[in-house]
Amino acid sequence: MARCKLCGKVADTIAQYLSLCKDCLREKESDLKEEVLELHGRIRTKYNLPAAIPRDREGMKCGQCVNDCKIGKGKKGYCGLITNLDGKLERYEDSGFLDFYFDPLPTNCVADWVCPGGSGTGFPQYAYKNGTEYGYKNLAVFFRHCTFNCLFCQNWHFRTKPHRSYTTEEIIKVIDEKTSCICYFGGDPTPNIKFALKLSEKIISSLNRIFRICWETNGSATRGYIKRMMELSLISGGILKIDLKAFSQPLAFALCGTDNKNTIANIEFCSQFFSKREVPPPLVVATLLIPGYIDEKELRLLAKFLASLDRRIPWALLGFAPHFYFSDLPRTSRLQASQALAIAKEYGMENCRIGNFHLLVD
**Which domains are seen in the chain, by residue range?**
95-359 (3.20.20.70)
pLDDT of 71 strictly over 80:
yes
Give pLDDT tens digits for 116-138.
999 999 999 999 999 999 999 99
Query: Torsion angle, CA of 13/19/25/30, rounded to 10 degrees?
Result: 180
Whole-number Cα distances in Å, 357 to 150, 289, 317, 319, 345: 22, 11, 10, 6, 18
d(CA 53, CA 127): 42
Q: Which residues contact 16 (CB under 8 A, 6 or more apart)?
A: 2, 328
pLDDT of 30 strictly over 80:
no
Q: Which pLDDT does position 278 carry in this prediction? A: 95
Residues facing 100 on adjacent strands:
141
d(CA 94, CA 110): 29
3-class state of residue 206 by DSSP: helix
d(CA 55, CA 68): 9
3-class state of residue 267 by DSSP: helix
Q: Which pLDDT does position 108 carry in this prediction? A: 87
Give pLDDT tens digits for 240-259.
999 999 999 999 999 999 99
Chain length of the chain: 362
d(CA 122, CA 282): 11
pLDDT interval class at 161 (50, 70, 90): confident
| % helix, strand, coil for the chain, step of 5 | 35, 20, 45
pLDDT of 163 strictly over 80:
no
Q: Which pLDDT does position 162 carry in this prediction? A: 73
d(CA 305, CA 325): 28
When the pLDDT of each residue in the chain is averaged and rounded to a whole number, the result is 96
Residues facing 185 on adjacent strands:
142
Angle between helices 223-236 and 193-206 (to 10 degrees): 20
Region 223-233: mean pLDDT is: 98
d(CA 27, CA 198): 43
d(CA 200, CA 235): 11
pLDDT of 29 strictly over 90:
no
252 near 246, Cβ under 8 Å?
yes
107 near 118, Cβ under 8 Å?
yes
Q: Which pLDDT does position 31 carry in this prediction? A: 84
Q: Which pLDDT does position 213 carry in this prediction? A: 98
Q: Which pLDDT does position 118 carry in this prediction? A: 96
- List the alpha helices (DSSP H) in the chain: 22-27, 29-46, 116-119, 168-174, 193-206, 223-236, 249-256, 261-271, 296-309, 334-346
Question: Pick from 117, 233, 119: which is nearest to 178 by CA?
Answer: 117
Q: Which pLDDT does position 225 carry in this prediction? A: 98
Q: Which pLDDT does position 325 carry in this prediction? A: 98
Give pLDDT tens digits for 277-331.
999 999 999 999 999 999 999 999 999 999 999 999 999 999 999 999 999 999 9
Residue 6: alpha-carbon gap to chain centroid: 30
Label residues 34-44 b or e (16+ Cβ within 10 Å = b). Answer: eebbebbbebb
